[in-house]
Structure 1
């Protein structure tokens, strides 16, 4: 890919910052609860508000500013993400924190699709898979690096400092875009009518719904994992950083081995295996939280199941959507973040009603529904589009 490498790495860093802004709250939620004087459910609301705002904002942005110059879209998006992060660091109450989170989400909404389109334009069609892997590597890297950084900064200097660091990273990426990405290239607007046409295909819509429930089920527990580790797992606060780092590394490993398992088990077999593995991990967290030699590895490795499912689900989606695959993938991305929002909201409600011990079994229930939907989507897949692998 020659000269494109530096720009691809920059675009990957943009993705890294967007994911960092989304997930860093998981690493600092305990400190934010005490610092703002709010409940765990209020902290969960800051998670799901970001996810819902991003899920909706990503689609609305395609309609309203899809025709803007792509470099301008990426710069403005990252600048808004950075401003929101700084504002969150200065927030004095829950209302100010919520406004800052929504601003961050609206900034992050256009980062992922715009960075991907720019990356695809830099290389030949044959090189696009490799280019996409570099850019989307920013997402998986954020799990390994960003969350432990936020956790460590919060532990050492407070939760506000963690948001200043995350916001500062977004500003660095924004200035990098100004000097590293060529201007003059404009995008095209999408339409809500076209989105509805994609969702009218039952196999496609059910596959998107499977993604939503997969992420929702995981996030019921993951969005509240700091409370579970400390209050149920009886882990010290210092263990959270290590646990998040280990879980991020496990997710990267799962993503790396996904293609190998597809060749071994087939696409649908890999999806079912990932769903089952994730559910078993949460079942262990619920049934044996104090058997640390079981429960801690279960938390660390549940992300492997997630990672095994996501790429094959996207491949299946491209098959069922046919010529509308690009728009279907955009809707799937919104389902991904919408699932985060639903999971965080559900996790906060479960925590307040039944305590943190009930979080994993709630995750299992939703993952079971995701598995059922996947079976239904297989049955409704048109024969002309079916694939046996």
Structure 2
């Protein structure tokens, strides 16, 4: 079980856990900035390379809860450090891949490593601070993902432009095991989650408030990645930016994500997770609507893209905080794994849908699809909040507080 640590230890540990998010986030997103280079090397279309994002995300989505069920009771440093080692091996295999098929197998290996890292790192970060500091702790850890967007993806694009895309994955292959060794020493052997039965995943989904929240995560990520995976052709063909501007554009997008994550950490305790998530959905709706209607000029395109990037990561840390509040202590690690699974399943759905829409109808079809998925995500949030209020009313009236009959039944309402 988790325990709080000294403020100094937490100040050091949380950024290190965030660095693990940075590495697996860069590994998963780097191909977005390397589409043309990788497509040329493997003699396939850019849409074919975009499918690697979908495959990586789908593998993560399936593996994240499964690894928690199989190994979630093990010390978290084993999951995090072992995942970083696996990530490094997958990155090395990608750098050496001679063709698309070999690259696909390497992406699956990297995704398995990432699936071990993400939920364990979030659970570890939440466990070592007081409940009142969890919002800031989770935002600090998830900042690694925003830095993967603001630094990792554009740096990968730059390296692919001036040198070889394979260099990106060689650097990941070196960095991941080194960070794994450092975190093995920093975390210690006493931090582990509870043993979770295979039915635990169904218990996470059994509460309607949590199930709708996970669907919201899936839909919001699908909405973003439908367009983000093909951001380069979207911004060049729709808004007339030059191909040479893409590194700077990706950095701007990532900077917006950093701002959104910082706002989540700053105002998470004051506003509460639900209000922040609602603000995020509203901002995404405005951004995608604007991208549909704006004139085909660079300035409005970039400004609306920045609004998208700020709001696109504003909901990530509050979503994790909300699931921790919704789940009973014994299932919090699995709830976070289910959230990571929903996030990457949404990325897979969005990337795959975007690649196909781009092939069928061009860039003009991407933003309308993103808007529809975002609106559906907003509806899922509303249903989740309604279900949570219904549960709270039942608890206040004394109904649904049982723990089951001992015959395998699952209570309809979890008691916090």
Q: TM (normalized to structure 2)?
A: 0.84
Partner of 2:342: 335
Q: CA deviation at 1:124?
A: 5.9
Partner of 1:281: 287
Q: Select between 261-270 and 187-196 the one with higher mean Cα deviation.
A: 261-270
Q: Distance in 2 between matches of 1:185 and 1:380?
A: 33
Q: Distance in 2 between matches of 1:158 and 1:352?
A: 27
Q: CA deviation at 1:348?
A: 0.7
- The number of residue pairs the alignment matches comes to 386
Measured against aligned partners, the alpha-carbon deviations of 1:228-265 in whole angstroms (never above 9, x if no partner) come to 12333332232111111111111121222236667887
Q: Distance in 2 between matches of 1:54 and 1:143?
A: 18
- Choose which of 349, 352, 362 in structure 2 pairs with 1:345: 352
What runs of 5+ residues in structure 2 fail to find an aligned partner? Answer: 1-6, 394-416
Q: Select between 27-36 and 214-223 the one with higher mean Cα deviation.
A: 27-36
- Choose which of 374, 378, 388 in structure 1 pairs with 2:381: 374
- Are the aligned partners of 1:18 and 1:108 in contact in 2 as well (CA < 8 Å)? yes
Partner of 2:257: 251
Q: CA deviation at 1:195?
A: 1.4
SS at match of 1:192: coil
Q: Distance in 1 between matches of 2:188 and 2:320?
A: 29
Partner of 1:383: 390
Partner of 2:407: none
Q: Distance in 1 between matches of 2:197 and 2:231?
A: 38
Q: CA deviation at 1:125?
A: 6.0
Q: Select between 232-241 and 321-330 the one with higher mean Cα deviation.
A: 321-330
- Are the aligned partners of 1:214 and 1:367 in contact in 2 as well (CA < 8 Å)? yes
Report matched runs for 1:1-389 at 5 Å: 1-120=7-126, 130-183=136-189, 186-258=192-264, 268-288=274-294, 290-321=296-327, 324-385=331-392
Task: Give the 3 Å change call, closer, same or farther, for CA 362–186 of structure 1 in structure 2.
Answer: closer
- Are the aligned partners of 1:77 and 1:107 in contact in 2 as well (CA < 8 Å)? yes
Measured against aligned partners, the alpha-carbon deviations of 1:244-288 in whole angstroms (never above 9, x if no partner) come to 111111112122223666788775444333212212212232333
What runs of 5+ residues in structure 1 fail to find an aligned partner? Answer: none
Q: TM (normalized to structure 1)?
A: 0.89
Q: Distance in 2 between matches of 1:123 and 1:381?
A: 25
- Are the aligned partners of 1:75 and 1:175 in contact in 2 as well (CA < 8 Å)? yes
Measured against aligned partners, the alpha-carbon deviations of 1:206-233 in whole angstroms (never above 9, x if no partner) come to 1110111011101100011122123333
Partner of 2:409: none
Task: Give the 3 Å change call, closer, same or farther, for CA 181–247 of structure 1 in structure 2.
Answer: same
SS at match of 1:92: coil
- Are the aligned partners of 1:40 and 1:352 in contact in 2 as well (CA < 8 Å)? no
Q: Distance in 2 between matches of 1:89 and 1:47?
A: 16
